[in-house]
Amino acid sequence: MNKTDVKQADTAKPKKQKKISMKRRERTFQAFCYIFLTIIAFFQCMPFWLKLVDATHSPDFLPEPGKIYVWFTDFTLSNFKSVIEYGKLFQALGVSLLHTVSFTALSMFVVVALGYVLSKKRFRGKKIVTTILMATMMIPGEVMLAANYKLTIAFGINTSTLGIILPGLVNVFGVFLVSQYMVNIPDSVLEAASIDGCGEFRKLFRIVFPMAKPIIMTYVIITFIGTWNEYLFPMILYSTSGSESLYTLQLAMQNFYPKWGGNADTYLRSAGMILITIPIIIMYIVFQKYILNQGNTSGIK
């Protein structure tokens, strides 16, 4: 072995040692992340699990004072059946689905159209419109409750599902969320579509929608969850008009006061809370890939 071979061998050893140390650091960091995220997930899921255990207790079960039950004891599913039967959850489920799906779909089209205009179109007063829209984001939603309530009365929709669908249809946060994503869509793609004779609506539905699918689906999930869990405005709207047939699941659960007595009432309300969260869980399972998949915009080479 000559001197050059010895030098190369000596320089190769520190490089291998550095690579090994880097891999060890990466594995240590990954292990730390896994442990940390597992602890966070545990504390996040534990309250839901305790509610589930509580919902499966028999109405005759008497818990020991001060004891927390973390596993099923005196297991039964009769509480869920009782809540559906006496709490009128099927009727409220239909209202909630109609409200949530309609509002989410209409709001999505409005947000995408406005986001497309603000990100890709030039017109007079664009800065003024943008400033006004951004200013509305500084106003808390609770401040607008009285104004929205008066508008529903003025248009005569305070006793219909439209009363909770039309107000707040234009989500300014969603407009800017979508518009900032659409900025990344190349103008050359839209110009090529215009040369081929595509109109604005065709470009919107055939080009912009597919290319902005990840952010659109993210907005859909956020809006669906927020609308599904909405309680304050439907309560103000329908409790004053007495339209109990239009109660959403949240209102139905709030007004459901079981009279079994003792701990049975707590078990029934826990069962109802579990039931109204099932659609949200299904929503996450079905659409989670659209949240996680934030890859390159389709159609861009």
| 93 within 8 A of 259, measured Cβ to Cβ | no
Q: Which of 35-44, 101-110, 203-212 has the lowest mean pLDDT?
A: 203-212
**pLDDT of amino acid 39:** 94
Judged against a pLDDT cut of 60, whether residue 5 lies above it is answered with no
Q: Are 163 and 152 in contact (CB under 8 A)?
A: yes
For 261: left if phi > 0, alpha if psi spans -120 to 50, otherwise beta; the answer is left
On the question of pLDDT at 295 being above 80, the answer is no
Query: What confidence tens digit (pLDDT) does each residue in 99-137 have?
Result: 899 999 999 999 998 888 888 888 888 888 888 888 888
Extract the tokens encoding 187.
Answer: 């103008």
pLDDT at 34 over 90: yes
Residue 53 has pLDDT above 70, yes or no: yes
Q: Output the pLDDT for position 26.
A: 85
State pLDDT tens for residues 128-163: 888 888 888 888 877 888 888 888 888 888 888 888
| Full-model pTM | 0.76
How do residues 241-282 score in pLDDT, each as one tens digit? 666 778 888 888 877 776 666 677 778 888 888 888 888 888
Torsion, Cα 158 164 166 171, to 10 degrees, reads 150
pLDDT at 291 over 80: no
Q: Which fold has domain 88-292?
A: MetI-like fold (1.10.3720)
pLDDT greater than 80 at residue 62: no
**Which has more confidence, 94 or 260?**
94
% the chain with pLDDT above 90: 6
Q: What is the pLDDT of residue 284?
A: 78
Q: Which residue reads 């000596």 in tokens?
A: 10
Over the chain, what is the mean pLDDT? 80
Token pair 């939603």 in the structure block, residue: 141
Alpha helices, DSSP H only, in the chain? 3-55, 78-86, 89-120, 126-136, 145-154, 162-165, 172-182, 187-195, 200-203, 209-211, 213-228, 232-241, 249-254, 264-292
Q: Burial letters for 10-44: b for 16+ Cβ neighbours within 10 Å, e otherwise?
A: eeeeeeeeeeeeeeeeeeeeeeeeeeeeeeeeeee
Contacting residues for 262 by C-beta, under 8 A, at least 6 apart: 62
Provide the pLDDT for residue 163: 84
The answer to whether 112 and 204 have CB atoms below 8 angstroms apart is: yes
In this prediction, residue 11 carries a pLDDT of 54
Confidence of residue 40 (pLDDT cuts 50, 70, 90): very high
